[in-house]
Structure 1
């Protein structure tokens, strides 16, 4: 029995290692693809498209692409049952509509890298959820990490320059972080029982419906899509950049991110997501000519370090910091 047990354990370890490698690759791909959204969106907004209208266009085009793909490749992925619909509603409102709306609104007022850093504080909101909603005690390291992240944000946003500080932009960036926390919290639950392609398709449609209440389709400037956007010194049609935004910065990263949650604990996935601000800063410098000052760079590093400390500390304490209740847990608690 001992001899036969060792090969089985070795095989299980190999499978776990392979699954972890797949999950890590997917999470990194999602982070890099999501990071491209800021520079692409900024170039379109500079061409005259409003942040709300761009949100509608991005979600709308991505929803069409996802729906066509789901119907053609895997129609069964669109079947959901019972409580899945409640979670899909939450994911569509927070993980799709809210996260994109607030992020684009922040990008319209702040440098891309600063807006992305604000969104990267999502782990702080997750920690606060665990403490005050789930009523779990948190290690001291979590609070130290939160303090470090807040101090870093103050430096990145240069709060001492009151005359130039865009407080509304900062609040919008924090709103995107709050919704991004919902992306991890709800997304981890729903992918335990549902297909990622179906989750993405339905959540995009829900997000599009939600955005349409504030940005009616007839107010979207479709006639201006043939205008020009400047990206990395190259003049491109606005419609082309928006298509890249829908495919490269929306469908691809959402699919990769949701799929990674099937192979990695959300703690690991969200830590890998901290690659986004760094990649976004490089892309913003290369494509838009935006750069950060030394205090902003140091503040950005502090934000990322603080968020990482929060994730690692909660992971050691609770096992899966972003885990709320999956399908199997619900059966055990009934």
Structure 2
């Protein structure tokens, strides 16, 4: 249940951010506000409740910096850049090809033999991606938006790989919290807080026919779609296997697409909906194959 709630809140990020960008904020400014506020919320809440989780060693600093730059700042900047140019559901689907990228990294960089099921899942995911982007029609989607979505997927793969390495010595909560801090500092260099247009922050944005102040959307995106969602997903890992969590988390693109349709009027073609199903099916196969591979006994011979 926790991971489904977390996936719901993760899925709202694009829907909350898009009206703010339509009101005049840049993707960089939205990402900066989201990550900075989330970092503050996590630092305060974790610092008061479980300060021991924030302890790190000097040897962990490099992993934290990489995690914050790639897995936090990179993902957010590129995802919001994609959302500003292509439908939210498609941007989310592009990002969710990251399990395939992780599998390819494991195969060709770590030189680990992957099961056939993982290759089938990879082919399905790439086929679904081609259907979503409708590549046979000259890539009907905005090219820059698609490239930003693919970049978000690459950074998301880095998020998983660096997170896998980091959590061997750092608590997951500490890793996410300090990753947010590093990411917020990095994005603040690109979009300094003092450059935020105050008049745009207090202006109203259209969200499903409702006039909502931009600052309210940004606070909700930072607190609910980021801090709360991350904490819920981490807590879920304590109650169920990671492979189950990762598969249930695939409900996030469904949430994002549904909310974008209901609140923003963004629709997908029948081919794109079918492609989304194929892509998610392939990603699920990759996740399950990876879980089975990790659970298999290691051959000592």
Mapped partners of 2:199, 2:23: distance in 1: 13
Mapped partners of 2:237, 2:67: distance in 1: 14
Mapped partners of 1:254, 1:302: distance in 2: 27
* 2:13 is the counterpart of 1:37: yes
* 2:246 is the counterpart of 1:270: yes
Q: Give runs of aligned pairs for residues 1-334 of structure 1, distance below 5 A.
A: 25-162=1-138, 164-191=140-167, 193-319=169-295
Q: Is the 8 A contact 1:105 1:169 kept in 2?
A: yes
Deviations 1:95-143 (A, max 9, x none): 2111111110110111000001101111101101110121101122222
Aligned-residue offset at 1:187: 2.6
In structure 2, relative to structure 1, the CA distance for the partners of 1:31 and 1:192 (3 Å cut) is farther
What are structure 2's unaligned runs of at least 5 residues?
297-301
Q: SS where residue 205 of structure 2 aligns?
A: strand
Q: Is the 8 A contact 2:133 2:140 kept in 1?
A: no
Task: Provide the aligned C-alpha RMSD in A.
Answer: 1.9
TM-score, normalised to structure 1's length?
0.83
Q: Is the 8 A contact 1:187 1:258 kept in 2?
A: no
Q: Is the 8 A contact 1:196 1:259 kept in 2?
A: no
TM-score, normalised to structure 2's length?
0.91
What are structure 1's unaligned runs of at least 5 residues?
1-24, 321-334
In structure 2, relative to structure 1, the CA distance for the partners of 1:141 and 1:163 (3 Å cut) is closer
Greater CA deviation, 68-77 or 223-232?
68-77
Mapped partners of 2:276, 2:228: distance in 1: 26
Q: Is the 8 A contact 2:86 2:141 kept in 1?
A: no
Mapped partners of 1:263, 1:133: distance in 2: 32
Mapped partners of 1:192, 1:136: distance in 2: 20
Aligned-residue offset at 1:288: 0.7
Task: Provide the aligned length of Structure 1 versus Structure 2.
Answer: 296
Q: SS where residue 211 of structure 2 aligns?
A: strand
For 2:299, the equivalent position in structure 1 comes to: none
Deviations 1:278-334 (A, max 9, x none): 1111111111111111001000001000111111222222339xxxxxxxxxxxxxx
Q: Is the 8 A contact 1:145 1:309 kept in 2?
A: yes
